[in-house]
Structure 1
Amino acid sequence: MLPKVNQELFIQVASVDKEEEKQQYKSRIADLDENCIYMEVPIHVGQGKYLRLYKGDSLSIYFLSDSGTKNYFHSEVVGFKEDNIRLVSITMPDPGSISQVQRRNHLRVTAELEMSLRISDDLHFLAITKDLSGGGTAFLCDGHLPIEPHMRFDGWLLLPFRNGAIEHAFFKGEIVRLNQLESGRKLGMVSFTDIADVERQRIIRFCFERQLENRKK
């Protein structure tokens, strides 16, 4: 489901300023085409101040469907145009990248990131991810570690963003599959079983930025 003309968008902008990143703005879609959404300059929800945007800014956005479901996507500012009023041009999302909270088919990207897994007080280790999505990740770890499928753990991921910010995403997970590799290391698959919406959106934003980087290569 893609957003439509006159639809209201609720927006957060990626920023090195933690307080700014928490602020929510809203806008209205004035026009769109195959590649871009043209929205009015976003205005702060509650304070009424306008958001100053720049080309290249990364945005986390959601809009409401007729049933009230929140539909999340990530976009990037690509320019501005004047059409009686000033409009902000942002990238049109791929339909498959739009995520509802209850959905699990998230965009997956290749990513080598540091991940912490705490299974018990006596079993706590770091691993390196192989890929990542809003629903889970694959990881590599030392082969001697006593881990098994269906083990549950508290975890965090270290996410380096394009604007220079480095953030943690916290979650509870389950090891759903585990393979022993010829190298002696273990390859595991993790599902996020309990994750706050803000943490999942942080991961999805990272995946979106990584996808944009891959497209530019």
Structure 2
Amino acid sequence: MLPKINDLVFIQVASADKKETEKECKSRIADDEEDFYLIEIPIEVGSGRMKRLFVGDELSVYFLTDNGVKNYFNTYVLGYADDVVQLVRIRKPDPEAITKIQRRNFLRVVAELELAVKLKDGTRFVAYTDDVGGGGVSFLCDGKFKLTEGDQLYCWLLIPYKNGSIEHAPFEAEVVRTKSLENGRTLVMLKFASISDMERQKIIRYCFERQFDFRNR
């Protein structure tokens, strides 16, 4: 069962910031196309504030059936459309992917990819990601690099695809959180601060390839 035009949908947006991820928004399906839905700009439940969505944002969505059962699916933002008001285009899920159990892994996948990092003071180093997603990445680095919440980084991610091609995705990111590990290394969690739609789509494509691999193991 898929949601229909005028159905209410409730949305949580993937973020490296747990508080942001836990915020629930509501929207309404305005149009239904073959591969995507157009939804109204989401409104945060409680505050009534409009929630700005960006291309590539990963969403956990649920809608209610007539008997009140919650049906969940994961999707992501494809773009926008202008009608009387601006609408958000999201990927329509496969009906088989809809479940009554909420899944919180979104489209973020575990992946060890090479990441070139440049700090504001000009320091450069190469690290390897711990996971990647359409909203950000986390990576492991030597503890000597003293990174703190709010730091701005300039990064270049090396992305290998299943067909053998390799892409580079440059972006600016903000440190959301760091965690010191027992082996002296540091886990650094980033959210994208500035990334082009094209570069974000490269990362999302990689995530979907990885998800497909995991499902078929």
| CA offset digits 1:163-205 (Å, max 9, x no partner) | 1110011111011111111000011100101111111111111
| CA offset digits 1:119-160 (Å, max 9, x no partner) | 135311111111111001111001112322211011111111
Equivalent residue, structure 1, for 2:196: 196
| CA offset digits 1:50-82 (Å, max 9, x no partner) | xxxxxxxxxxx779697653535499xxxxxxx
Contact 1:62 1:73 in 2 (8 A): no
| CA offset digits 1:74-128 (Å, max 9, x no partner) | 99xxxxxxxxxxxxxxx669479xxxxxxxx951111110111111353111111
Gaps of 5+ in 2: 6-30, 37-77, 100-104
DSSP 3-state at the match of 1:202:
helix
Cα shift at 1:8: 5.8
Q: 1:65 to 1:73 in 2, by over 3 A?
A: farther
Counterparts of 2:157 and 2:178 in 1: how far apart (Å)?
19
Q: 1:131 to 1:154 in 2, by over 3 A?
A: same
DSSP 3-state at the match of 1:198:
helix
Q: Counterparts of 1:1-217 in structure 2 under 5 Å?
A: 7=33, 69-73=87-91, 94=97, 106-217=106-217
DSSP 3-state at the match of 2:119:
strand
DSSP 3-state at the match of 1:69:
strand
Contact 2:120 2:152 in 1 (8 A): no
Contact 2:131 2:138 in 1 (8 A): yes
Aligned residues: 145
Larger radius of gyration: 1
DSSP 3-state at the match of 2:172:
strand
Q: 1:65 to 1:162 in 2, by over 3 A?
A: farther
Counterparts of 1:2 and 1:128 in 2: how far apart (Å)?
39
Q: 1:2 to 1:118 in 2, by over 3 A?
A: farther
Q: 1:206 to 1:72 in 2, by over 3 A?
A: farther
Gaps of 5+ in 1: 11-60, 76-90, 97-104
Q: 1:6 to 1:188 in 2, by over 3 A?
A: closer
DSSP 3-state at the match of 2:89:
strand
Counterparts of 1:152 and 1:208 in 2: how far apart (Å)?
27
Contact 2:114 2:158 in 1 (8 A): yes
Counterparts of 1:153 and 1:116 in 2: how far apart (Å)?
10
Amino acid in structure 1 at the alignment position of 2:116: S
Counterparts of 1:73 and 1:206 in 2: how far apart (Å)?
16
Identity of aligned residues (%): 41
Counterparts of 2:4 and 2:159 in 1: how far apart (Å)?
28
Q: 1:160 to 1:208 in 2, by over 3 A?
A: same
TM-score, normalised to structure 2, is 0.56
DSSP 3-state at the match of 1:122:
coil
Counterparts of 1:133 and 1:204 in 2: how far apart (Å)?
6
Q: CA RMSD in A?
A: 3.5
